[in-house]
Amino acid sequence: MTISTAAEPKDPYVLTPDDIKEPPQGWLASLRYLGPGLILGASIVGSGELIATTALGAEVGFVLLWLVILSTLVKVAVQVELARWSIVTGKTALEGYNTVPPRFGRLGWISLMWILMAVVKVLQVGGVVGGLAAALSILFPIGSGPLEFTSLAIWTAVVVVGAIISLYSNRYSVIERGAVALTVLFVTITCAIAFGLPFTEIGYGLSDIGGGMQLALPAGAIGAAIAMFGLTGVTSDEITYYTYWCIEKGYARWVGPNDGSDEWRRRAKGWIKVMYKDAAVSWVVYTVGTLAFYIMGAAVLHPAGLVPEENAMITTLSRTYTDTLGEWASVAFLIGAVAVLGSTLWAALPGWARVAANAVSLCGRFDWRDTAQRTWWMRFFTVLFPIAWGSAYLYFNSPVIMIQTGGLIGGLFLIAVVVAAWYLRKNEVDEDLRGGRWFVGALLVSSVLIAALGAYTAISVFGVSIG
């Protein structure tokens, strides 16, 4: 696939009539304009899939396979709705969140919730850094044995410094190309292992797959299933920074400022259709990747009675592959784990840097559309976040718990994202740009399921037992 980045030097957050571009017609012509979803796919197939999804498969076997598909599918409508609003307005998700009443001074309640979530999410992304450091420590122990503190600390420092150096420029083209390369690598490796298992002595069959699609939900697995639902597919933070990637790709700039003309509406509809295609491709990528990890846990770990915990997560998985398929499978899995967690970090860091810088601008510190100031703040957070994430991992040293904690708070914030999507759709998107009846139905289903997730999460947080 050829990715177009030639227009990147223009500031994508400033809409002018000079940047108008006609939308492509059909899939073939649209391929060169895809990209935001590929960055999203690189971010999505990461901590939730490698850790939470694999752990759930290990715990309950194939019985919740259906939940993997449901979890990745139901949140896409909200993602698309918020991206639609960004394309027609040229504004970012956080700017939209900040308009939803009630407001407290400069900030709206959803913006304040995002700040709280960002603090807790330090644990989740710290778990990603820790998982990556653990995989590298097993492959290449430095200073001490695999998974011993010295080796983990050195690899954590390497991961942190590497992320800062490689992403400091914050250029969209660099982020997109790196995401595509890492996505191709991890999808190839993980699918080769997961879908190649039927040809080994620990294979699975069609009966296992059929049983996993029967909508059963074991009572003892409800908590883990809820955490996985909050972590897999597009999460609240990824829905948020997908709007930034759509804008930086150029969708809003190519539509141009809203002059109320029929030509503007035609362009808006055309570029929204391109965004639909972009979201569809990314959904296929991260759903296949998620299924691969769940199948690994269900087929390899569940029969052996192994559930990965803490740093033993990586060790359990890699040793199981060594015992059953040979050393090559263990090494392949570890390389895949590095690619998956590395891609998550690669896409998450610039996403968080953008949203954090946007939050600072909403507080009145600078004008978001001042390119120099925006770049400075994004680079500031590009340095700050990896240091905070690495420090959190070395302090707590428990990737599974850290990532599941982030999943729970992310599930709560999804409700706020849904509220914002409906509010912005009603108040700032022209009726003829809102999508047809099928989309409204999908958005309603998505909203109801997300609300149910948030309600369950809230009840769990306050100590009420369900199931």
Q: pLDDT tens-digit profile of 421-434?
A: 999 999 999 988 98
Task: With cut-offs at 50, 70 and 90, classify the pLDDT of residue 402.
Answer: low
More confident position, 30 or 328: 30
Residues 6+ apart with CB under 8 A from 257: 15, 16, 17, 90
CA atoms within 13 A on the CB side of 280: 9
User: Alpha-carbon distance 318 to 443, whole Å?
Assistant: 40
Task: With cut-offs at 50, 70 and 90, classify the pLDDT of residue 50.
Answer: low
DSSP state of 204: -
CA atoms within 13 A on the CB side of 310: 8
H/E stretch holding 103 reads: strand 103-104
User: Alpha-carbon distance 167 to 174, whole Å?
Assistant: 8
Over the stretch 108-130, which tens digit does the pLDDT of each residue have?
Answer: 999 998 888 888 778 778 878 88
Q: What is the pLDDT of residue 6?
A: 43
- Is pLDDT above 50 for 1? no
Q: What is the pLDDT of residue 3?
A: 45
Instruction: Indicate the pTM of the whole model.
Output: 0.86
Q: What are phi and psi of 406, to 5 degrees?
A: -65, -35
Q: What is the pLDDT of residue 264?
A: 95
Mean local confidence (pLDDT), 39-55:
73
Q: What is the pLDDT of residue 213?
A: 86
Q: Which residues pair with 107 in a beta bridge?
A: 104
Whole-number Cα distances in Å, 216 to 211, 221, 222, 225? 9, 11, 11, 11
Over the stretch 280-326, which tens digit does the pLDDT of each residue have?
Answer: 999 988 888 888 888 888 888 788 777 666 556 666 666 656 665 66
Instruction: Report the candidate in 140, 99, 82 with the shortest Cα–Cα distance to residue 414.
Output: 82
Cα 449 from chain centroid?
A: 18
Task: With cut-offs at 50, 70 and 90, classify the pLDDT of residue 331.
Answer: confident
Domains located in the chain, CATH noted: 17-438 (1.10.4160.10)
More confident position, 270 or 460: 270
Task: With cut-offs at 50, 70 and 90, classify the pLDDT of residue 270.
Answer: very high
Over the stretch 159-187, which tens digit does the pLDDT of each residue have?
Answer: 999 999 999 999 999 999 998 888 888 77
Percent of the chain with pLDDT over 90: 39
User: Alpha-carbon distance 220 to 116, whole Å?
Assistant: 30
Q: What are phi and psi of 103, to 5 degrees?
A: -115, 150
How does 235-247 read in b/e, with b if 16+ C-beta sit within 10 Å? bbbbbbbbbbbbb
Q: Which residues pair with 103 in a beta bridge?
A: 108
Q: What is the pLDDT of residue 266?
A: 96
Q: What is the pLDDT of residue 231?
A: 62
Task: With cut-offs at 50, 70 and 90, classify the pLDDT of residue 7.
Answer: very low
Q: What is the pLDDT of residue 244?
A: 97
**Helices and strands of the chain, counted as H and E runs:** 20, 2
Task: With cut-offs at 50, 70 and 90, classify the pLDDT of residue 5.
Answer: very low
Mean local confidence (pLDDT), 66-72:
84
Q: What is the pLDDT of residue 64?
A: 83
- Residue 342 one-letter amino acid: G
Mean local confidence (pLDDT), 142-152:
85
Least confident interval from 65-74, 271-280, 322-331, 437-446: 322-331
Is residue 123 within 8 A of residue 402, CB to CB? The reply is yes
Instruction: Report the candidate in 19, 22, 365, 38 with the shortest Cα–Cα distance to residue 172.
Output: 38
- Is pLDDT above 60 for 251? yes
More confident position, 228 or 151: 151
Q: What is the pLDDT of residue 8?
A: 47
Percent of the chain with pLDDT over 70: 83
